[in-house]
Structure 1
């Protein structure tokens, strides 16, 4: 099999390239040159925001294309149009953010969507991902696979959510743990996303699939207690009432990554229906494996003298709660 990854050097794109290489596939990546590509790939350079950014793809044919683009939908449009006659399948890694807010608990692929345009320039994330979906479908029709991922975790995470929790819990002491501990968390390991996407592409699956773990299988308690076990820090998790946290001005999702309190936002982000993807072969590895492998990745970076918390994408600010704010909250101030 011949695979083209548009990206392929960081997190999800890297996981796709690594999985394909392990299968013995012939892998090409198109990237901007900001990060080294995996060993064993054919590396092409191009900036999809530049007028000649796709020049390196003027020739060549591929069985599968995987595209992780998150910005202007017009870049997906241009790539998909260029490759439509030279690629068998186009998998676009989209997001469950394309669903109109609020999405009721149990929302499946048929839930209401945000508006989007394949011709749009830079727009907000939900509209960008929806526009990318429309661009992929316009060029590839039923050969377009729309991978609507939820929260993505795992080694190589360049957003900083699980890395922040691991670093914070590893420091030990009293840790603000946002409750309730039984609150559902839906996530997917980037490696499981990669494996399913390639399997589904080989099978010729098209259309939209919600790609995340089953609701109720993992909780905030599971996540933070696993972080404590993996790091061996002996941290004291202080579970706190959601209302008190919000009233203190501490922001869900950004100050306390992964966590959102019960309500519409939680239903939208952590209680989606994934029946279709599991029926199509989705498998989720144990939480302990995702957490342990992410911690090992972070430790390797430290041994190499690289920054704490792992690399953070240049288009995002760092997440996580300020230590002084956490200390004041735990003191009851």
Structure 2
């Protein structure tokens, strides 16, 4: 397979690149040149947001292209139109955020659930509308050759959002750790390497249409996730569990100050209530949470303990002084 990656040097793009190279595919990376591409790839440089920034893609043919863009849908539109006649299939890494909220309590949502509004011609929009506009841009250009990978919470090595790295570094510091309950809170996330593997398999098989890409509900619980953080770091950490009502009453912001954690309610049902039967039937396999946590910790240690941070995303995590006061 000849694969073109729009991006390919960070997190999802890097996982896709490494997996494709391991398969013996010919991999071309189109990026701005701010990060070194993995060895064995062919690099093309350009800024998709600048006038004439796609010039390096004016020639060439590929079997498949993967686009992970999360900004203005018009950027996805321009590259998709340019490549549609010279690329076999297109996978767009979208998000489950494209589904309309609120979600009825206890209802599992699949790919047929209502969607937010979006347009392929939009400029910068809120995240959900941007991803939906990107989907429409790819569908307009590639039609039945378009694969929409609606990812849920993505974790694993190379994470540049900071959720799992924050928990690992916090537990590694040791001492009392504020652990938000309930302990059996059922999480849904996907290891970036499992997402990459499934996406490339789906491209090779010629799959199309939308797929929710996240683990089955209850793949791990909050207690299992934090217990693995304690185990792999070897830290002298004491998990102090607090009921969700107490955490909220203390003014803690769910998701951002305590990554992964959401209290019972509409947001929890929407984030961790996905029906992923379609992806499972199409070959999705999710590695154990223990492997994801251990490999992420090994990667963190290898780079000095500080994970990269995307400049367009909010920094996550509870400040130490604030946690100490709450405890």
Which range, TM-score by smaller chain?
Answer: over 0.9
1:328 aligns with 2:314: no
- Alpha-carbon distance in structure 2 between the residues aligned to 1:129 and 1:217: 25
The one of 311, 316, 319 aligned to 1:314: 311
The one of 145, 148, 151 aligned to 1:149: 151
Matched residue, 2:88 = 88
Matched residue, 2:274 = 272
- Alpha-carbon distance in structure 1 between the residues aligned to 2:308 and 2:210: 30
- Alpha-carbon distance in structure 1 between the residues aligned to 2:260 and 2:33: 30
Deviation (angstroms), 1:234: 2.5
After superposition, give the CA deviation of every residue in 1:186-229 in whole Å (9 maximum; x if it has no partner). Answer: 00001000000000011111000000000022110110011100
The one of 160, 172, 175 aligned to 2:174: 172
Deviation (angstroms), 1:109: 0.5
- Alpha-carbon distance in structure 2 between the residues aligned to 1:178 and 1:88: 46
- Alpha-carbon distance in structure 1 between the residues aligned to 2:211 and 2:200: 13
Equivalences for residues 265-304 of structure 1 within 5 A: 265-302=267-304
After superposition, give the CA deviation of every residue in 1:82-133 in whole Å (9 maximum; x if it has no partner). Answer: 0100000000000000001123431110111000000000100000000000
Deviation (angstroms), 1:178: 0.6
Question: 1:183·1:262 contact (CA, 8 Å) conserved in 2?
Answer: no
* TM, length-normalised to structure 1: 0.97
Matched residue, 1:13 = 13
After superposition, give the CA deviation of every residue in 1:109-165 in whole Å (9 maximum; x if it has no partner). Answer: 011100000000010000000000000000000100000000000000000000000
Provide the secondary structure at the position in 2 that maps to 1:36: coil
* TM, length-normalised to structure 2: 0.98
- Alpha-carbon distance in structure 2 between the residues aligned to 1:283 and 1:3: 22
- Alpha-carbon distance in structure 2 between the residues aligned to 1:48 and 1:242: 43
Question: 1:160·1:309 contact (CA, 8 Å) conserved in 2?
Answer: no
Matched residue, 1:263 = 265
Deviation (angstroms), 1:244: 1.2
Matched residue, 1:130 = 132
Provide the secondary structure at the position in 1 that maps to 2:241: strand
- Alpha-carbon distance in structure 1 between the residues aligned to 2:109 and 2:220: 18
- Alpha-carbon distance in structure 1 between the residues aligned to 2:50 and 2:126: 20
Gaps of 5+ in 2: none
Compare 239-248 and 275-284 and name the one that shifted more: 239-248
- Alpha-carbon distance in structure 2 between the residues aligned to 1:262 and 1:268: 11
Deviation (angstroms), 1:309: 3.0
Matched residue, 2:243 = 241
- Alpha-carbon distance in structure 1 between the residues aligned to 2:300 and 2:219: 25
- Alpha-carbon distance in structure 2 between the residues aligned to 1:316 and 1:114: 21
- Alpha-carbon distance in structure 1 between the residues aligned to 2:308 and 2:218: 30
Question: 1:7·1:31 contact (CA, 8 Å) conserved in 2?
Answer: yes
